[in-house]
Amino acid sequence: MHLDCAEWSHGVVKEEREVTVGEGDRATTKTKTVLANLERSVVNAMYQKCNHCRHFGASMKCKASGKFYHYPCGSASGSYMQVEPRLFVGHDSLTKVATLADPQRLYDYFQGEWQKGKVIELSPDKFDNLLFCIKCHRHFYYMGSESRITAVIRTGWQCQQCKWCQICREASHPDRFILCDVCDGAFHAHCLRPQMASIPKNGWKCKVWIDAIHDL
């Protein structure tokens, strides 16, 4: 199970535990953070259907409805996710965000300049354009009819400050990033094979999505 999936699983909590490292006279005790109740959550997930994809294995529980989701499906469906304090509200219960979310939780949006708004003041129909960065855990709202946020973009999305190359996994040289028109993933031009000398004028799709389109 991936770490994000585990940490968001219902009933799983982080605990500090004392563990012994080494043997004999060289043995030392250290404090280690563990995910308690993980095995039980995994077993329970085997019998839980995802409210988005309808497949079994869902472990993330909506605070409002009690329905379960897979972690990637929670992002893809346009559900609301908040880390501190941890909160997940499914895509069909977004009217409950105003009462369940942290009243001080802010989102960033651009209107001539970057500004901030309160999540609890965002109407449910606007959540289609609210993105959650999986790295910094901030929310970004994209305005305008030209901003079409798809399920592919929502899943595993990273904000501009947090993006890394999907090939080398490095965040260096962001000026050399090329963004995929389908998934919004970042790629260094020099990491691509063959290397790309310039940014295409008519947009660009990464190999994953070119292959996926050809397979349709």
Half-sphere exposure of 30 (CA within 13 A, CB side): 8
Q: Binning pLDDT at 50, 70 and 90, where does residue 145 land?
A: low
The confidence score (pLDDT) of residue 216 equals: 43
pLDDT band per the 50, 70, 90 thresholds, residue 146? low
Element (H, E) at 20: strand 13-21
- Is 5's pLDDT higher than 80? yes
Structure tokens at 17: 């535990």
Q: Give the pLDDT score at 212.
A: 53
Residues facing residue 127 across a β-bridge: none
Task: Give, as one character, the DSSP assignment of residue 155.
Answer: T
Q: Is the peptide bond before 194 cis (omega within 30 degrees of 0)?
A: yes
Cα gap 56→70, rounded to integer Å: 9
CB-CB contact of 59 with 68 (8 Å): yes
Domains annotated on the chain, with CATH: 163-216 (3.30.40.10)
Q: What is the pLDDT of residues 20-30, one digit of tens each?
A: 888 877 888 88
For a pLDDT cut of 90, what percent of the chain falls above it? 68
Cα 90 from chain centre: 14
Return the ∠ at Cα 151 (arms to 64 and 59), rounded to 5°.
45
Question: Is residue 75 within a helix (H) or strand (E), and if so which, with residue range?
Answer: helix 71-76
Q: Which residues of 170-191 are buried (b: 16+ CB within 10 A; e: fewer)?
A: eeeeeeebbbbebbbbbbbbeb
Q: What is the pLDDT of residues 47-104, one digit of tens each?
A: 999 999 999 999 999 999 999 999 999 999 999 999 988 999 999 999 999 999 999 9
What is the identity of the amino acid at 207?
K
Q: What is the pLDDT of residue 104?
A: 94
* Per-residue pLDDT tens digits for 176-208: 899 998 899 999 999 998 888 777 788 898 987
Residue 213 has pLDDT above 80, yes or no: no
Name which of 6-20, 101-115, 155-169, 198-212 the model is least confident about: 198-212
Please, what sign has the CA dihedral across residues 110, 64, 3, 179? negative
Q: What is the mean pLDDT of residues 130-137?
A: 95
132 Cβ partners below 8 Å, 6+ apart? 75, 81, 138, 139, 154, 157
Label residue 36 by pLDDT band (50, 70, 90): very high
Q: Taking all residues of the chain, what is their mean pLDDT, rounded to a whole number?
A: 90
